[in-house]
Structure 1
Amino acid sequence: MSEPLPTQRLACRRLVLSMSDSPDLQRLGLTDTHIRLVLGEVARAVLIAGGTLAYGGDLRIGGFTEYLMSEVQRYGPLDYPALLIALAWQNHREMTLSDLDEKRRYLEDFADIVFLDPHGNEVEPEEGRGNDLAAVDDGDRAPALSAMRRFLESKADARLAIGGKREGFQGRVPGLMEELLFALEGDNPLYLAGGFGGATMDVARLLGAGDTAWFPPLPPPADSRYAEGLAQISDVTGRAGWSLPDNGLDTEQNDRLIATPRPSEIASLVTLGLHRRLGP
Structure 2
Amino acid sequence: MLTSFLTAHKQAFPQDHHLWPLHPDPPLLPPEHEIMVKLCALSGYERDQVHLLTPRTFFAAGGVWGGGEPSLTTPNLALERPLSRLMLGISMAKSPDLEARGLSDRHLELAVAEVAQMMLLAGGGMTYAGAIGTHAPDLTAAVIDTVERYVRAAKHEQHRHSGTHAAEQRLHPGDMFTLTVPRMVLSNREALDQLTRTTEALAAVGRIDVVDEHGHLTDVDEAQLWTDSGPKVLARAYSEVRAALPRFCDARLLIGGKTISASETTPDGYVGAIPGVVEEALYTVRAGQPLFIAGGFGGAAAVLAHELGIGAGNPVSEASLAAVRALPAYRDAVAEIADGFDPELTGLDAADLERLATTQRASELAGLIVRGLSTGATVAGGTDA
Give the TM-score of the pair, scaled to structure 1: 0.87
Query: Does 2:204 match 1:85?
Result: no
* Residue pair 2:285, 2:341 contacting (<8 A) in 1 also: no
Cα distance in 1 for partners of 2:274, 2:119 equals 29
Shift in alpha-carbon separation, 1:252–1:235, aligned structure 2, 3 A: closer
Shift in alpha-carbon separation, 1:18–1:234, aligned structure 2, 3 A: same
Query: Does 2:135 match 1:74?
Result: no
Match of 2:250 in 1: 157
The 5-angstrom pairing of residues 107-186 of structure 1 reads 107-127=202-222, 135-138=227-230, 139-167=232-260, 168-186=269-287
SS in 2 for 1:202: helix
Question: What's the CA shift string for 1:178-230, capped at 9, x where partnerless?
Answer: 1111112232211111111211111112112x332442561444477755323
Unpaired segments ≥5 residues, structure 1 = none
Shift in alpha-carbon separation, 1:202–1:55, aligned structure 2, 3 A: same
Report the residue type matching 1:136 in the other structure: D
| Paired residue total | 273
Shift in alpha-carbon separation, 1:75–1:88, aligned structure 2, 3 A: same
Shift in alpha-carbon separation, 1:213–1:224, aligned structure 2, 3 A: closer
* Residue pair 1:172, 1:225 contacting (<8 A) in 2 also: no
Cα distance in 1 for partners of 2:131, 2:286 equals 25
Match of 2:131 in 1: 58
Cα distance in 2 for partners of 1:95, 1:173 equals 29
Cα distance in 1 for partners of 2:333, 2:356 equals 24
Query: Does 2:86 match 1:16?
Result: no
Report the residue type matching 1:275 in the other structure: S
Match of 1:252 in 2: 351
Compute the displacement of 1:155 (Å): 1.9
Give the alignment partner of residue 195 of structure 1, picking from 289, 296, 300: 296
Between Structure 1 and Structure 2, the one with more helix by share is 2
Greater Cα offset, 158-167 or 141-150:
141-150
Cα distance in 2 for partners of 1:42, 1:236 equals 24
Compute the displacement of 1:99 (Å): 3.0
Question: What's the CA shift string for 1:239-263, capped at 9, x where partnerless?
Answer: xxx4524111111111111111000
* Residue pair 2:182, 2:211 contacting (<8 A) in 1 also: yes
Cα distance in 2 for partners of 1:31, 1:174 equals 21
Greater Cα offset, 137-146 or 102-111:
137-146
Compute the displacement of 1:34 (Å): 0.7
* Residue pair 1:54, 1:152 contacting (<8 A) in 2 also: no
SS in 2 for 1:119: coil
Cα distance in 1 for partners of 2:316, 2:325 equals 21
Query: Does 2:123 match 1:28?
Result: no
Cα distance in 2 for partners of 1:23, 1:93 equals 25
Report the residue type matching 1:164 in the other structure: G
Cα distance in 1 for partners of 2:121, 2:291 equals 20
SS in 1 for 2:132: coil
SS in 1 for 2:279: helix
Matched-pair identity in %: 31
Query: Relative contact order, CA 8 A, sep 6+: which one is greater?
Result: 1
Cα distance in 1 for partners of 2:223, 2:252 equals 34
Compute the displacement of 1:176 (Å): 0.8
Give the TM-score of the pair, scaled to structure 2: 0.65
SS in 2 for 1:170: coil
Query: Does 2:197 match 1:99?
Result: no
Unpaired segments ≥5 residues, structure 2 = 1-24, 26-55, 61-76, 152-169, 261-268
SS in 1 for 2:217: coil
Match of 1:6 in 2: 78
SS in 1 for 2:78: coil
Give the alignment partner of residue 212 of structure 1, picking from 299, 312, 318: 312
RMSD, aligned CA: 2.4
Compute the displacement of 1:125 (Å): 4.2
SS in 2 for 1:171: coil
* Residue pair 1:19, 1:162 contacting (<8 A) in 2 also: yes
